[in-house]
Amino acid sequence: MSTVELTAENFDQTVNDNEFVLIDFWASWCGPCRQFAPVYEKASEKHEDLVFASVDTEAQQQLAAAFDVRSIPTLAIIRDKTLIYAQPGALPEPALEELIKQAREVDMAEVKRKAAEAEAEQA
C-alpha cells in the first residue's frame, strides 16, 4: 500500500476509518527523514493491512504541533483512535518491523481501561 499524505483536513477521517495508522512526521530538508523514507515505504508494502501515513511538518505545522513533534523524523502509531507510540528518530528496518510487531500485540482493551482509570482519577 502506498503511503497516505496526512493533512489537517483528512486526519480525522483517516484515524476514524482505520484501526491501525502509522504516521511518519518528516521534512524535505531533513537528512535522516530522507534516509528513513525508503525503510518506511518498504514496510508499507509489506504490511498492506495497515495504513502508513506521512506528515510534511513544513506544510502541516498545526498537525505536527498537535503531536508535539520537536524532532524529525518522528514516528507515531495510532490504534483504535488511541495514540500508543510516538518517538523521534529514524529506525532501521529490523527495529521498525519489531515496533510494528509489538504494536500489533498491544491489548487495546487494557490500554483503554487504564486511560479511563487515569481520567477518572483526574476528575
Query: Regarding predicted confidence, which is higher, 111 or 1?
Result: 111
CATH number for the domain spanning 95: value is 3.40.30.10
Q: Could you list the residue range(s) of the whole structural domain that residue 38 is in?
A: 4-122
Query: What's the structural domain count of the chain?
Result: 1
Q: Once rounded to an integer, what is the mean pLDDT over residues 61-85?
A: 95
Q: Once rounded to an integer, what is the mean pLDDT over residues 90-108?
A: 96
pLDDT tens figures, 31-61: 999 999 999 999 999 999 999 999 999 999 9
Residue 1: pLDDT over 70: no
Q: How many CA atoms lie within 13 A of 67 on its CB side?
A: 34
Active site residues: 30, 33
Say how far apart CA 78 and CA 103 lie, in whole Å. 9
What is the grid cell recorded at 90?
529514524
Residue ranges with strand state E in 7-117 = 20-26, 51-56, 74-79, 82-88
Say how far apart CA 113 and CA 30 lie, in whole Å. 38
Residue 94 neighbours by CB distance under 10 Å = 9
The model's pTM is 0.92
